[in-house]
Chains A and B, each alone.
Chain A
């Protein structure tokens, strides 16, 4: 069964950092681009970033450029999102998704940025 499981969310103060992880199973991670998508409370979906199969190409939404870094470890079947200098507006559920045009999603991990 194809599955994505996120972890690493939590409560962090503004300016703080968090590292999200996504464990992939049931498929070969290195065959796919992978993405992070977020959803603020009561709001819609927002694509955050994605990364090429071997990690050589990455793209980010404008508001997270320079603060977030997407990475992957294909040998460990894992995707990561390092989030630095967090702001209140980054508060959201963060979903890991297989980027065959977002065909498979995880259950999400909640990030709250608040003092």
Chain B
């Protein structure tokens, strides 16, 4: 199975500042069809997960452009600029290139300083 490793596992950010989360995979996520099946999810406290970004950098409808994704191969980053209180929660990366199974990172907990 592909192992997904996130860092840091927790992050404390001042309102209005930026946050960056790294996600590394144990194998390249570039698929034979040319797509990279790397996804980011947000789980706010007490809520179900919600997909934020798909295929590395594409934002879901309704996701603010303060969220952006980048990366290729085995190294990926979620960046949040101008952090707001509503961004508090746990962020997960997930790979869907080498399935089954889909595999998630351990999660990164974002809190406000």
* B-contact bits for A49-81, CB 8 A (1 contact / 0 none): 010000000011100000000000000000000
Ranked nearest first, the 4 interchain pairs of A and B with the lowest CB-CB distance are: A59-B100, A47-B102, A105-B48, A44-B107
What is the CB-to-nearest-CB distance from B97 to chain A, in angstroms, rounded to a whole number? 10
Closest Cβ–Cβ distance, residue B100 to chain A (whole Å): 4
How many residue pairs, one in A and one in B, have C-beta atoms under 8 Å apart? 51
A residues less than 8 Å from B51 (CB atoms): 101-103, 105
Chain A binding surface SS class: strand
Residue of chain B at shortest CB distance from A106: B48
Contact status A102-B48, CB under 8 Å? no
Tell me if A46 counts as interface (CB < 8 A to partner B). yes
Which residues of A (63-115) have their CB < 8 Å from a CB of B?
95, 101-103, 105-108
Answer yes or no: B106 CB below 8 A from chain A CBs: yes
Residues of B within 8 A of A47 (CB): 100-104
Q: How many residues of B contact A (CB 8 A)?
A: 23
Which residue of A46, A102, A106, A108 is within 8 Å of B41 (Cβ)?
Answer: A102
Residue tally, chain A, CB below 8 Å to B:
18
- Which residues in chain B, 89-103, are within 8 Å of chain A measured between CB atoms? 90, 92, 94, 96, 99-103
Assembled-state Cα–Cα distance A46/B50 (Å):
15
Closest residue of B by beta carbon distance from A93: B48
- Per the bound structure, the CA–CA distance linking A45 and B92 in Å amounts to 8
Query: Would you call A101 and B104 a contact (CB within 8 A)?
Result: no
Contact of B54 among A46, A103, A107 (CB under 8 A): A103
Instruction: Give the docked Cα–Cα distance between A108 and B50 (Å).
Output: 12
Question: For the complex, what is the distance from the CA of A103 to the CA of B48, rounded to whole Å?
Answer: 12
Complexed CA–CA distance, A94 and B104 (Å)? 15
Taking the closest CB of chain B, its distance from the CB of A101, in whole angstroms, is 5
- A50 to B99: give the CA distance in the assembly, Å: 11
CB distance from B27 to the nearest CB of A (A): 17
| Beta-carbon nearest neighbor of A61 in chain B | B101
Contact of A101 among B39, B43, B92, B103 (CB under 8 A): B39
Q: Which of A5-33 contact B (CB under 8 A)?
A: none
